Structure 1
Amino acid sequence: MAENKEEDVRLGANKFTEKQPLGTAAQTDKDYKEPPPAPLAPNKCASVGIQGIAWAFGGMIFALVYCTAGISGGHINPAVTFGLFLARKLSLTRALFYIVMQCLGAICGAGVVKGYMTGPYQDLKGGANFVNHGYTKGSGLGAEIIGTFVLVYTVFSATDAKRNARDSHVPILAPLPIGFAVFLVHLATIPITGTGINPARSLGAAIIYNRDHAWDDHWIFWVGPFIGAALAAVYHQIVIRAIPFKSSRAC
């Protein structure tokens, strides 16, 4: 009897075969339709976008500052060096030496990128900074000033000995807020200028690419960051550092 029942089940399964299509095509008798599945990206970098670029810059700055902070202070950026010089954190000779080395490093880095990624390098115009269409030079300059102010002020705040003494119970890894500030500034200013905030980075890309548009707005990426760094230094040293500790007195 058991064998006969198993035979009947097999015959029934074969008799009524599944002809209904699977997936979204099976919804012909429903009163709604699911959207089709999103296509896969045509290449590995197509879905990176502004956010991915911002994370790349912020993460790399975090790593570089962490690795070089114990050697040179982890400046990396002439605007940061200039701001710290104005705050009398380093001498003029050391500041000039740092800026020259930062520019040479940026030129070498841009050359390596061009050598290894010839096709994408040309398509992306060498990564050179310029004011994008739809924005004025004034908008680009303002974006560079504000973006660099945020970065340099974060550097001052994260490395302030007075704050460390006051908030010693709050552990802080200085490269982390600095890298996160770079990430946020890139999110805001990539559509405007491609985000400079580092004159050495802009100079290296312009020299290696060396096309007209790379030099058209180049002055913005020196003047803007240096103004932003100067404002951050003045604000931190005169306004913030001028606030004394609150001392409690016994009645």
Structure 2
Amino acid sequence: MKKYLAEMIGTMVLVLMGCGAAVFAGAVQPFASVGTLGVALAFGLSVLAMVYTIGKISGCHINPAITLGMLVSKKISSKDATMYMLFQVIGAIIGSAILYVLAKDSGSTTTLTGANGYTSVLPAFVAETVFTFIFLLVVFGSTSKGADNKFAGIAIGLSLTLIHIVCIPITGTSVNPARSIAPAIFEMVQGNGAAMGQLWLFIVAPFLGAIIAAVVWKAIDTAKE
């Protein structure tokens, strides 16, 4: 249960800080604008901080795509994988709920929870699949046997930052189904069902990218089990 609670807390922090930066300090409010780079750093730094906070407890997946990749790689049991994903979504919902309360009377003209979205299906699907694949490769490589694991959090956090810099203009960047599910729920509370209608892509594409990454990493990894 400690592992599951750690995943819940970590995902809550990721959604609150990352999506919070998009809502409160994106390009909509010039007096506090951090732009795409700032939002990308908020997501990356959130992951980096959580890796060194809860990594020793749960491994700090805080992302169902990472958990699926670990399951495919047989690095986690199916029971733990299921519970990880459940508590990740719960944590994301808590983070989005806090953000919704903070943002609903703020006068922000953006979405109140930083929901993902796209204008064209094919580029969005390709982006989410490919960038999740890249992200998972970094996770596998930086945490593998023989790697300098002390710096894994830095590699993972910076890679997520890089992914956001490129992908934010395409989809707002998910590469994390829990990060997309919770904001979409609160968009519906706000009276906008568009994010929920597009949510399938932000579940299917990251999961596909994670599976491909697990297969590719197994093929190229030189460490013996």
- Structure 1: which amino acid aligns with 2:67? T
Runs of 5+ consecutive residues of structure 2 not aligned to the other structure: 1-28
Query: How far, CA to CA, are the matches of 1:107 and 1:121 in structure 2?
Result: 22
Match in the other structure for 1:182? 160
Structure with larger Rg = 1
Runs of 5+ consecutive residues of structure 1 not aligned to the other structure: 1-41, 165-169, 246-251
Match in the other structure for 1:145? 129
Match in the other structure for 1:212? 193
What's the CA shift string for 1:45-82, capped at 9, x where partnerless?
23x11001001111111001111110001000000000
Match in the other structure for 2:202? 221
Query: How far, CA to CA, are the matches of 1:198 and 1:74 in structure 2?
Result: 13
Query: How far, CA to CA, are the matches of 1:83 and 1:45 in structure 2?
Result: 37
Matched, 1:127 2:114: yes
Match in the other structure for 1:45? 32
Q: After TM superposition, give the deviation of residue 216 of structure 1 in Å.
A: 2.1
Q: After TM superposition, give the deviation of residue 120 of structure 1 in Å.
A: 5.0
Query: How far, CA to CA, are the matches of 1:182 and 1:85 in structure 2?
Result: 21
Match in the other structure for 2:13? none
Q: After TM superposition, give the deviation of residue 147 of structure 1 in Å.
A: 1.1
- Structure 1: which amino acid aligns with 2:136? V
Superposition TM-score, scaled by structure 1 size:
0.73
Of 218, 231, 234 in structure 1, the residue corresponding to residue 212 of structure 2 is: 231
Alignment CA distance shift 1:228-1:120 (3 Å): farther
Alignment CA distance shift 1:219-1:171 (3 Å): closer
Contact 2:65-2:176 within 8 A present in 1 as well: yes
Of 95, 105, 108 in structure 1, the residue corresponding to residue 81 of structure 2 is: 95
Query: How far, CA to CA, are the matches of 1:91 and 1:184 in structure 2?
Result: 30
Question: What SS is found at the alignment partner of 1:88?
Answer: coil
Contact 2:143-2:149 within 8 A present in 1 as well: no
Of 59, 63, 66 in structure 1, the residue corresponding to residue 45 of structure 2 is: 59
Q: After TM superposition, give the deviation of residue 121 of structure 1 in Å.
A: 7.7
Query: How far, CA to CA, are the matches of 2:165 and 2:30 in structure 1?
Result: 23
Matched, 1:192 2:176: no
Matched, 1:240 2:220: yes
Query: How far, CA to CA, are the matches of 1:171 and 1:98 in structure 2?
Result: 22
Structure 1 or 2: more helix by fraction: 2
Q: After TM superposition, give the deviation of residue 119 of structure 1 in Å.
A: 4.0
Contact 2:187-2:193 within 8 A present in 1 as well: no
What's the CA shift string for 1:92-114, capped at 9, x where partnerless?
00000000000000001000011
Q: Percent identity?
A: 36
Query: How far, CA to CA, are the matches of 1:56 and 1:207 in structure 2?
Result: 22
Alignment CA distance shift 1:119-1:223 (3 Å): same
Query: How far, CA to CA, are the matches of 1:172 and 1:101 in structure 2?
Result: 26
> What's the Cα RMSD here?
1.9
Residue-pair matches, total: 193
Alignment CA distance shift 1:90-1:112 (3 Å): same
Match in the other structure for 2:181? 203
